[in-house]
Chains A and B, each alone.
Chain A
Amino acid sequence: MCVCVSTEGQSDHNGARREIREEMVRREAKTGNEVMAEAMRQVNPDVVAAYPITPATEIVQIFASFVADGLVDTEFVAVESEHSAMSACVGAAAAGARVMTATASQGLALMHEVLYVAAALRLPIVLCDVNRSLSAPINIHCDHSDTMGSRDAGWIQIFSENAQETYDNVVQAVRVAEKALLPVVVTTDGFIISHGCETVDFLEDSEVQEFIGEYTPAYTILDVDNPITLGPLDLQDYFFEHKRQEIQAVLEAGRWIDEVGKEYRKKFRKGLDFLEEYRVDDAELVVLALGSTAGTAKVVVDGLREAGTRAGLVKLRVFRPFPAERLARLLARFPVVAVMDRSDTLSTMGGPVFVECRAALYESGKKPLMVDYVYGLGGRDVTDEDIRRVFSDMEQIRKTQKIPNLITYLGVRE
């Protein structure tokens, strides 16, 4: 279906006017998985090596049908496990191919050791991950344990609020990866986004191709006239230096995220950014969330605003590299902040987002009273009612200036 869309005159809650874009756009109702597969089709990567796993199976299945139907030029490698999938991706990327894959949960966990190799070899692989809990007990539904489990692997990690953002994130991720020379994982929330149907505005194939441009790999193992050695033994004398290079690459990746996001915004619509600020200008009570929960929180914020509460939301879109300085600068403005974590570190310190937000604020002269809400594990539903409770807790904290519970397990039965 094509519809005429005009965004002229619309403004977001920070008052910034969006780009004028009045033209025929392709708008279709699609699930998050369909959207990721469609973005992959438009990217038309050289190689996709993947193994199906719930709830990401469809991405692989749909993309395989694109290959079978001749809609892409991709070499599809059907492998026997996710460990092999990421290994094949690393091999193909080292050969100079533009490479993508998709997985979830145990699949991402099985890729774990190869994720580190992909990042350390500076291979710009793009992985579509559908967030799902990790066993045990076995569960197929959404939480962020899988992605958070690979947070120290050297990958750029982007979370999506809805199907539209998922689409835009995947397209931009290709550019970010190839500029930063680091692999990128774009995530959706299992079943909530992956299987939920939404209307999404798609770019034209040619627009995607033009945006991502032709890929020139930093190196290739297939150039026989200029042979290289990849992955040599690197002991006490050089390993540290190479790790230091990788750390620098992650430090500098933020620049590319900003640049690619800006360009996307200029050309199409709202682009990639580390944070989204939603009605925070005069906010006193602020929830910080990532993924689909940010959408639910926006509805709650709107409702509370109507009732006169100065509520706001900070949405964390990019978790790696962690935007510590920006986040500290922003959060320091608010009296009370509640972090929403859809996973726990099992370190007794709460969820990973909370742990890192607190660390980011350590040097701040001014800091908010901050609490953590671990929620939604194994797909436990988080409703507007739950988030309203978080705001009412924050109201109490603001009034009493006391934190009764640093970490709350929201929605768990006692």
Chain B
Amino acid sequence: MKKKGWKELPMAAVLPGEWSTEQFPTGDWRVERPIWDEEKCVQDLMCYLSCPDSAIKIEDGRMVGIDYQFCKGCGLCAYACPPKAKAITMVREGK
């Protein structure tokens, strides 16, 4: 897509409509990817509480996966996951 020039863009970056970071994926510079193992998961939601980017998907009060559109691979979820469960492991992107 050809990007617009300064004369074509709306003034002061005022965008029509309700825009949010939902429409702006920011997970593309992740180095490590968290891999979730549903079998091992104890559903304590510690990953959800520790994620700084709301990238843990929740449905009906249960962890159902990771939103890779926004996950930046910080690893806090894997760190917060109880050692006995170890339901999240960090794997280097591209491997």
A356 CB to nearest B CB, Å = 25
Once the chains bind, are A245 and B9 in contact (CB under 8 Å)? yes
Contact of B15 among A122, A229, A245 (CB under 8 A): A229
Tell me which residues across on chain A come within 8 A of B14, comparing CB atoms: 121, 219, 228-230
- Name which of B3, B4, B6, B9 has the most chain A CB atoms within 10 A of its CB: B6
Given A233-B24, A241-B4: A228 in contact with B17 (beta carbons within 8 A): yes
Nearest opposing residue in chain B for A218, CB measure: B11
Once the chains bind, are B13 and A232 in contact (CB under 8 Å)? yes
Once the chains bind, are A245 and B18 in contact (CB under 8 Å)? no
A226 in contact (CB, < 8 A) = yes
CB 8 Å contact bits of B1-36 with A (1 = contact, 0 = none): 001111001011111111111001000000000000
A-B contact count (CB 8 A): 54
CB 8 Å contact bits of A217-246 with B (1 = contact, 0 = none): 011000000111111111001101110111
A328 in contact (CB, < 8 A) = no
Interface size on B, residues (CB 8 A): 17
Contact of A245 among B3, B12, B19 (CB under 8 A): B12
B52 CB to nearest A CB, Å = 17
Once the chains bind, are B24 and A229 in contact (CB under 8 Å)? no
Main secondary structure of the interface of B (DSSP, over half): loop
Tell me which residues across on chain A come within 8 A of B11, comparing CB atoms: 122, 181, 218, 245
Once the chains bind, are A227 and B9 in contact (CB under 8 Å)? no
Q: In which size bucket is the chain A interface?
A: 20 to 34
Once the chains bind, are A238 and B13 in contact (CB under 8 Å)? yes
Nearest opposing residue in chain B for A242, CB measure: B13
With A and B bound together, what is the CA distance between A218 and B83 in angstroms?
56
A120 in contact (CB, < 8 A) = yes
With A and B bound together, what is the CA distance between A230 and B16 in angstroms?
9
Nearest opposing residue in chain B for A181, CB measure: B11
Tell me which residues across on chain B come within 8 A of A246, comparing CB atoms: 12
- Name which of B11, B19, B20 has the most chain A CB atoms within 10 A of its CB: B11
Tell me which residues across on chain A come within 8 A of B6, comparing CB atoms: 240-242, 244-245, 248
Nearest opposing residue in chain A for B9, CB measure: A241
Residues of B within 8 A of A (CB): 3-6, 9, 11-21, 24
* 7 more CB-based (< 8 A) A-B contacts, given A228-B14, A240-B6: A122-B11, A229-B14, A237-B3, A241-B6, A241-B9, A242-B9, A248-B6
Ranked nearest first, the 7 interchain pairs of A and B with the lowest CB-CB distance are A241-B6, A229-B19, A244-B6, A229-B15, A122-B12, A227-B18, A121-B12
